Chains A and B, each alone.
Chain A
């Protein structure tokens, strides 16, 4: 939702980043206010996923320029876990399988590290069980998944649901959903979209990264941005997504190439 006089929580200016010496982000600009949902679209290799990982602080990427201010704090100065504790959440495109670590333990440790950062006492195992019970409902997840190893042997859809469960639990200020719709059948997509919609409100913001318009039928964005060659080349309202669906990316990408020349 677009709110009047809403506070800017994320401000990205001329952000550039590389991996192993290859420049990927070439000057990204983006401003996100509380209550807003932004969709970032674009062809393969345009830098969308890199952008999400750089915001979350993945150590493989080196930021070479620009700034990222999150709730008044210079995000680039703090480590990944501190960013997470400050309220940045990344739902992974490919959630990893971690054998031997139970889903429930993982959720509890993650939740308590967030509580600690907020100066709140840790929740004990009993209180946590009650809390997680509530959250399971958001993504219609079977409690049996809690006692299994983290993502081990989960189907693609179950892994994505588990990501949204973590989002529901950690209540981030800024959620970044990296291709959360990829590999989902229509029922799973609906459940996950429904979960995300329950979690968005005027006190947080969401960035969705996606290839397809499909997801945007369920989670309706306030803004749609198109990324190409490491920068955002076009921004508009939700109707842009429909146009992209009809026309593809080429017309925008060509424009961008011309733009670079200038």
Chain B
């Protein structure tokens, strides 16, 4: 890689600051007492503690998956603190005015203003700091339409029946090693409930911030869309720069009933570690949506730019007849980052359809793998899938892999798969330069073009953000 390319890709991470705030952090280590303590701190109903303990006992019997194309030293699960919350004067806050100003400032610095005067006009935000939700905006306005948008801790207090009904219904507690761990120790996350026939009047969004250095973050998100409802939800994430690695193991469950639609977008920008691969977040996440009803639709859009390691496969289980699953992904890796990401589309109902558009960009010495499964079950008469997996290599030292798995058990199924590999190297940049176009502009044009099909799926204000984020991440990487 020439010097120009290098300076272009290697922009400093601008969210790497640490907020100095007094926190209530429990000692490191994990056992049943720790789980009881977490549950007690959150004053949870009995069923929740049982759920956690069952998950923990399952987890003890499980082993970490070794099949992903990622390498990292063994994680010592006893050397992590499983709960950290900024100290608040009051147990329950009645309004945003009572939130510690330091926290509000932190989110403002991250570009997520929460206060009444400054907050985003048409986006409701749930802000999560380490293990707890600090604020949710526009709650009352949403409540007028019957939309519930709050932290999952609050939902457990206010709507325990709803949580009990759906929690673990899409991702069972023993689904995989990290999902079991999350089910045992999750601390907070967002809960969304859209009642029958309601179209959410605004975008809902959760912003995750890891602050503490040795705490794992385990959030849990649950979104339920009743018959004929619609919601668009977006999550964003950042973390400070630490030399050690931090574990982030989240679970997201989506349930769409008859004719309901959930659009779930992610812009993931966790700290990725330094150029030598020191530090950064281990992002081991289970995301799955269940199209339970007929004509239901779940659409995942993700822009993955951060984390030292990404292990994540947002999936759709298409049970309802004519239901639709979509996955649009841009995964960018640079320096020593490793990503093994993709999707699973499980066709069960008749005439179910799925689309997969995956764009992997690898720069530096990073490794970027797409791993996806398309499964057409015997019952899925007339099911269709279209997959497109494109890789772009920047410089000469990066790696891109594609692992598509296709299982068809019904001979009326139709599955298409397309793949391509392209490159941004010296010759491409010289071509642009020879026409008077700078390397920065050239890279940004090529990357925008490459990612266009995915960015078009993002809510507009975030599409612009994502475009900028990618250019920034790649600044200095080609030359």
Q: Which residues of A does B touch, CB under 8 Å?
A: 56-60, 79-81, 84-85, 89-90, 92, 95-96, 98-102, 105-106, 109-110, 113-114, 117, 149, 166, 170
Contacts and interface: CB of A to CB of B under 8 A. Distances in A.
Interface of B: prevailing SS: helix
B431 A95 contact: yes
Given A80-B433, A166-B435, 4 more contacts: A81-B437, A81-B439, A90-B434, A92-B431
A84 B434 contact: yes
A106 B431 CA distance: 11
B434 A80 contact: yes
Given A59-B479, A109-B445, A149-B449, A98 B433 contact: no
A89 to B, nearest CB: 8
Contacts of B430: 56, 58-59, 80
Given A105-B445, A106-B445, A98 B436 contact: no
Contacts of A56: 430, 434
Contact of A110 (B4, B427, B437, B446): B437
A60 B436 contact: no
Given A96-B427, A96-B428, A84 B433 contact: yes
Interface in B97-122: none
B422 interface: yes
B6 to A, nearest CB: 13
Given A59-B479, A92-B431, A114 B436 contact: yes
A149 B452 CA distance: 12
Nearest to A88: B434
A166 B431 CA distance: 12
B446 A170 contact: no
B450 interface: yes
Interface string B437-451: 111010001101110
B437 A109 contact: yes
Indicate the member of B4, B427, B433, B448 with the most A CB atoms within 10 Å.
Answer: B433
B401 interface: no
A149 B448 CA distance: 13
B31 interface: no
B450 A99 contact: yes
A96 B422 CA distance: 11
Interface in B401-443: 420, 422, 426-428, 430-439, 441
Chain B: number of interface residues, binned into ranges: 20 to 34
B2 interface: yes
Given A59-B2, A59-B479, A149-B449, A98 B435 contact: no
Contacts of A59: 2, 4, 426, 430, 479
Contacts of B441: 109, 113
A89 B436 CA distance: 9
A81 B450 contact: no
Nearest to A166: B435
B449 A99 contact: yes
Contacts of B438: 81, 113
Interface of B: 2, 4, 420, 422, 426-428, 430-439, 441, 445-446, 448-450, 452, 479
5 contacts: A57-B434, A81-B432, A84-B433, A117-B436, A170-B435
A101 B449 contact: yes
Contact of A81 (B436, B448, B479): B436
Contacts of B431: 92, 95-96, 98
A98 B434 contact: no
Contact of B428 (A81, A98, A117): A98
A261 to B, nearest CB: 36
B435 A79 contact: no
A148 B436 CA distance: 21
Nearest to A149: B449
A234 B448 CA distance: 48
Contact of A100 (B4, B434, B439, B452): B452
Contacts of A105: 445
Contacts of A106: 435, 437, 445
A72 to B, nearest CB: 20
A85 B436 contact: yes
B446 A101 contact: yes
A79 B449 contact: no
Contacts of B426: 59-60
Nearest to A82: B436
B337 to A, nearest CB: 23
Contacts of B2: 59
Nearest to A85: B436
A84 B435 contact: yes
A102 B449 CA distance: 8
Q: Which 3 A-B pairs have the closest CB atoms?
A: A100-B449, A110-B435, A80-B433
Contact of B433 (A81, A166, A170): A81
A106 B433 CA distance: 12
A170 B436 CA distance: 10
A81 B434 CA distance: 6
A98 B435 CA distance: 14
Contacts of A96: 427-428, 431
A57 B439 CA distance: 14
Nearest to A90: B434
B450 A100 contact: yes
Contacts of A90: 434
Contacts of B479: 59
Indicate the member of A84, A102, A117 with the most B CB atoms within 10 Å.
Answer: A84
A57 B4 CA distance: 14
Contacts of B433: 57, 79-81, 84
B61 to A, nearest CB: 47
A7 B426 CA distance: 34
Contact of B437 (A99, A100, A113): A113
Nearest to B424: A98
Contacts of B439: 81
Contacts of A79: 433
A80 B428 CA distance: 13
A73 B390 CA distance: 44
A56 B427 CA distance: 12
B169 to A, nearest CB: 40
B371 to A, nearest CB: 23
A210 B269 CA distance: 51
